[in-house]
Amino acid sequence: MLSVFSSPGHYVQGRDATAALGEELRRLGIDGPVLIVAGSSARRLLSATWERSLGEAKIEYSVHPSGGECSMAEIGRITDAVRASGSAAVLGAGGGKVIDSARAVADDLGLPMISCPTTASSDAPCSALSVIYTDAGEFEAYQLVRRNPALVLVDTSAIAQAPARLLVAGMGDALATWFEARTCLAGHVRNMRGGASTRSAGALAELCYRTLLSDGPQALAAVHTRTVTPALERIVEANTLLSGLGFESSGLAAAHAVHNGLTAAPQTHPFLHGEKVAFGVLTQLVLEGAPADEIDTVLDFCDHIGLPTSLADLGLADADRETLSAIATRATAPGETIHNEPFAVDAAMVLDALCAADALGGR
């Protein structure tokens, strides 16, 4: 099995980074026209800067409002807009679902994709993976695309304006990176690109975890005051770049499969991807029989920054056995990443781990 390390073509991060968008696109040989798929907050925060930066670079562009969900219907609508505009590149600006939709469209049409997250709420921006949901918000499939983004441009001034809950959710998603990576590394399983992991990917995943523990609370304090600080820059890098490279080039395991299982319960749909992944981390650690001190460190971190640690925190306080069994069954579906664990996993084991993690989180 060959080792495979995947990454975006170029990564740019910093205060007011959007002002450099036109220059960065020109540097990569992208001279338009560009279709910008944008969420409402991205349009509000960045429209004036797009006009100025892309105007100075003489790059034509148009803006297509995002429908919110990354579903096959939304991908079809964006595809029609790209074709109608004659665009030569697709730019996703907003949260993870907006970026995932733009990525899927660009791949379908064979166009370069530019990723401009306005939140640090997930590790979606750097990868060559889109998570497809139904229009109702239930997980449907992972869609691997042929290329990582040509450019990931992260404007921390915009991220500092986003709700603090989004940064916390991003830390929940990033929290899984090291624990899933080490499981995949130990088991010599294929990563998300179908190859063996590299030592570099594992080191980045571990750095991601260490950064969360050291800088997470300070970064959260920064977004509460809408300020850009060194701690916020490091957490944005951890949530976006380190987690993105770590998960794609090392692999996923139980934590993300539990997330996918949780989406089978409609009560969890109001909760963010990273919030559900964080509880998935606790469930994975229980499933693997992790040491108590490690579980306590994760619980303390989640408590400190406000990530869910119990089923009640995810709207499942009164979930019956049938609901929990449906979650466990979905988490262990054929092809799920939970089967990267170094032992056979079935729904009964996951159900027990869910309940045990819930008990620990309600300590």
274 belongs to an annotated ligand binding site: no
220 belongs to an annotated ligand binding site: no
276 belongs to an annotated ligand binding site: no
Respond yes or no: is residue 135 known to be catalytic.
no
SS3 for the chain is CCECCCCCCCEEEECCHHHHHHHHHHHCCCCCCEEEEECHHHHHHHHHHHHHHHHHCCCCEEEEECCCCCCHHHHHHHHHHHHHHCCCEEEEEECHHHHHHHHHHHHHHCCCEEEEECCCCCCCCCCCEEEEECCCCCEEEEEECCCCCCEEEEEHHHHCCCCHHHHHHHHHHHHHHHHHHHHHHHHCCCCCCCCECCHHHHHHHHHHHHHHHHHHHHHHHHHHCCCCCHHHHHHHHHHHHHHHHHHHHHCCCHHHHHHHHHCCCHHHCCCCHHHHHHHHHHHHHHHHCCCHHHHHHHHHHHHHHCCCCCCHHHCCCCCCHHHHHHHHHHHCCCCCHHHHCCCCCCHHHHHHHHHHHHHHHCC
11 belongs to an annotated ligand binding site: no
120 belongs to an annotated ligand binding site: yes
96 belongs to an annotated ligand binding site: yes
173 belongs to an annotated ligand binding site: yes
129 belongs to an annotated ligand binding site: yes
Respond yes or no: is residue 64 known to be catalytic.
no
256 belongs to an annotated ligand binding site: yes
Respond yes or no: is residue 259 known to be catalytic.
yes
**What's the CA gap between 239 and 172, in Å, rounded?**
9
Choosing from 215, 256, 313, 358, the catalytic residue is 256
339 belongs to an annotated ligand binding site: no
102 belongs to an annotated ligand binding site: no
Choosing from 107, 215, 259, 358, the catalytic residue is 259
283 belongs to an annotated ligand binding site: no
100 belongs to an annotated ligand binding site: yes
121 belongs to an annotated ligand binding site: yes
**Is-contact 249 173, C-beta < 8 A?**
no
Respond yes or no: is residue 320 known to be catalytic.
no
Choosing from 173, 215, 313, 358, the catalytic residue is 173
Choosing from 155, 215, 273, 313, the catalytic residue is 273
Residues with catalytic function: 173, 256, 259, 273
Binding residue positions for NAD(+):
96-100, 118-121, 127, 129, 133
Q: Residues within the annotated binding site?
A: 96-100, 118-121, 123, 127, 129, 133, 173, 256, 273
In the annotated binding site for glycerol, the residues are 123, 173, 256, 273
